């Protein structure tokens, strides 16, 4: 079987945003596989925003310690195999297909038992199996959605990181921040260390209660660890971080925004907790790891003249952080937005946040069947931007050309940039179209 056939077979099992709240199927499948998720320590990450960036930063620190690391993240930007990485590289097409073939008989057995394995469950099982087979020294696992009922929660994380929680997936996770926090708190297991990013009060209360109930050790950003200082630098920012075991000065992070500094602090605390002992990590190791880190599709420059920045923000909390980071790190006099969003998101809130930042907005659609049609997005956008500032373009490639064209028309020295945002899929499509993925 080749990679495309494996990908098609996985896609036939549904879509990741539709799932039943049960761990029975994934647990049954992993039992047949010999519980590969128990073959290595796990750093488990949940939260509304920042999960993938934090996962990549944890991975960078662990790899700099000469550990073999498996990383499972979602969704992917371009190719499904990006979700499962070993040693910082996605599984090859050949290896991805091989892992699928190895699991296929066990999946069929589980299906026959009346528990048809779903899309995200299958990818999760493939990741756990691939990591056990490698074998990895540590697995860094990002939840897909929520926590308690997420397929990844069959693993018991030695470290549970909860990144900032805000409103998203309210139809699935609950109508308010406290409800969502309750769902995500499910990854905090007895005896683990819970590394908590700065949270709204109502989320923090829920997370602390869960940690107390299960006897977890708690490390809170802003109390036990955090960002002591940061300043904008060329290509990123320069940080002083207080970890759980020491202070780390002059740490260059090639990522933009206060939110990425917070992600780095959480990653540092998680790795300190995982390594045990009282000694801080080697400062040069920390500097080297973070200096080499990346987070594709997160305030990522994909073109110059004019500067085009791609970002995967898709909910109000993420968009607020993105816009603050854009304002801080890029001295644009004007910003032209190219925006495509999913129909099930809080589109009105996203447009409201974007309006003060964007000179003009080009609304379009991405490649997902969940994408809000350009005409519908345009009608909503006119209520915030006015008709004169809104351009409706059906296809994303044409929309990107229109956005760049508007920026070019402003003149070379106008300081006009282009921001492409609204969804992970939008970011992935744009990276592919602009060849930022190496394609």
Please state which architecture CATH assigns to domain 300-433. Alpha-Beta Complex (3.90)
Res. 439 pLDDT band, cuts 50 70 90: very low
CATH class of 3-291: alpha beta
The one-character DSSP state at 81 is G
Q: What is the mean pLDDT of residues 373-391?
A: 97
Whole-angstrom distance, CA of residue 381 vs CA of residue 363: 8
**In degrees rounded to 5, what are phi and psi of residue 56?**
-70, -35
Q: What is the pLDDT of residues 228-254, one digit of tens each?
A: 999 999 999 999 999 999 999 999 999
Res. 174 pLDDT band, cuts 50 70 90: low
Whole-angstrom distance, CA of residue 406 vs CA of residue 374: 18
Whole-angstrom distance, CA of residue 322 vs CA of residue 164: 14
Q: What is the pLDDT of residues 327-366, one digit of tens each?
A: 999 989 999 999 999 998 899 999 999 999 999 999 999 9
Is residue 438 pLDDT above 60, yes or no?
Answer: no
User: Could you tell me which of 75, 166, 165, 146 has the C-alpha nearest to residue 349?
Assistant: 166
- Give strand ranges (E) for 189-278: 193-196, 217-220, 226-233, 236-242, 247-253
The two structure tokens encoding residue 107:
């999946």
The one-character DSSP state at 276 is -
Q: Judge contact between 270 and 159, C-beta under 8 A.
A: yes
Name, in order, each residue with C-beta under 8 angstroms of 82's C-beta and a sequence gap of 6 or more: 73, 76, 90
Name, in order, each residue with C-beta under 8 angstroms of 213's C-beta and a sequence gap of 6 or more: none
In the numeric block, the tokens 């039943």 are attached to 20
Look at residue 175 in the predicted model and tell me its pLDDT.
57
Res. 171 pLDDT band, cuts 50 70 90: low
Q: What is the pLDDT of residues 392-423, one digit of tens each?
A: 999 999 999 999 999 999 877 789 999 999 99
Minimum mean pLDDT range among 16-20, 217-221, 281-285, 319-323: 16-20
Query: Percent of the chain at pLDDT above 70?
Result: 96
pTM of the model: 0.92
Whole-angstrom distance, CA of residue 279 vs CA of residue 61: 16
Is residue 152 pLDDT above 50, yes or no?
Answer: yes
Q: What is the pLDDT of residues 58-111, one digit of tens each?
A: 999 999 999 999 999 999 998 999 999 999 999 999 999 999 999 999 999 999
Domain spans in the chain, listed from the N-terminal domain onward? 3-291, 300-433
User: Could you tell me which of 424, 428, 418 has the C-alpha nearest to residue 338?
Assistant: 418
Greater model confidence, 206 or 166: 206
Look at residue 214 in the predicted model and tell me its pLDDT.
97
Q: What is the pLDDT of residues 8-46, one digit of tens each?
A: 999 999 876 666 778 999 999 999 999 999 999 999 999
Largest interatomic CA distance in the chain: 65
């Amino acid at each position: 079987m080749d990679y495309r056939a494996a990908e098609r077979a996985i896609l036939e099992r549904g879509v990741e945003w539709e799932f039943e709240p049960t761990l029975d199927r994934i647990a049954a499948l992993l039992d047949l596989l010999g519980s590969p998720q128990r073959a290595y320590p796990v750093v488990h990450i949940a939260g509304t925003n920042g999960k993938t960036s934090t996962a990549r930063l944890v991975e960078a620190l662990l790899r700099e310690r000469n550990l073999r690391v498996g990383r499972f993240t979602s969704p992917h930007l371009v190719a499904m195999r990006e979700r499962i990485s070993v040693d910082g590289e996605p599984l090859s097409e050949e290896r991805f297909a091989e892992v699928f073939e190895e699991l296929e008989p066990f999946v069929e057995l589980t299906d026959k038992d009346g528990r048809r394995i779903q899309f995200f469950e299958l990818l999760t099982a493939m990741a756990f199996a691939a990591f056990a087979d490698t074998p990895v020294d540590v697995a860094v696992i990002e939840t897909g959605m929520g926590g308690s009922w997420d397929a990844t929660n069959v693993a018991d994380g030695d470290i549970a990181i909860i990144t900032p929680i805000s409103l998203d997936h309210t139809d699935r996770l609950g109508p308010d921040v406290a409800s969502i926090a309750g769902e995500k708190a499910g990854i905090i297991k007895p005896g683990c260390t819970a590394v908590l990013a700065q949270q709204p009060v109502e989320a923090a209360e829920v997370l602390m209660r869960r940690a107390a109930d299960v006897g977890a050790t708690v490390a809170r950003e802003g109390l036990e660890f955090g960002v002591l200082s940061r300043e904008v630098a060329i290509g990123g920012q320069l940080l002083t971080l207080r970890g759980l075991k020491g202070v780390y000065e002059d740490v260059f992070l090639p990522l933009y925004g206060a939110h990425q500094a917070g992600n780095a602090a959480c990653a540092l605390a998680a790795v300190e907790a995982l390594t045990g002992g009282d000694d801080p990590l080697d400062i040069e190791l920390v500097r080297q790891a973070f200096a080499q880190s990346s987070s594709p599709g997160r305030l990522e420059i994909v073109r110059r003249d004019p500067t085009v920045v791609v970002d995967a923000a898709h909910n109000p909390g993420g968009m607020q952080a993105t816009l603050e980071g854009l304002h801080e790190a890029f001295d644009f006099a004007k910003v032209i937005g190219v925006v495509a969003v999913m129909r099930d998101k809080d589109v009105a809130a996203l447009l409201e946040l974007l309006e003060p930042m964007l000179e003009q907005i080009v609304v379009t659609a991405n490649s997902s069947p969940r994408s809000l049609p350009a005409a519908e997005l345009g009608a909503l956008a006119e209520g915030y931007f006015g008709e004169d500032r809104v351009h409706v373009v059906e296809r994303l490639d044409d929309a990107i050309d229109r956005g760049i064209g508007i920026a070019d028309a402003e003149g070379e020295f106008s300081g006009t940039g282009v921001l492409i945002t609204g969804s992970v899929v939008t970011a992935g499509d744009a990276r592919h179209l602009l060849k930022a993925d190496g394609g």
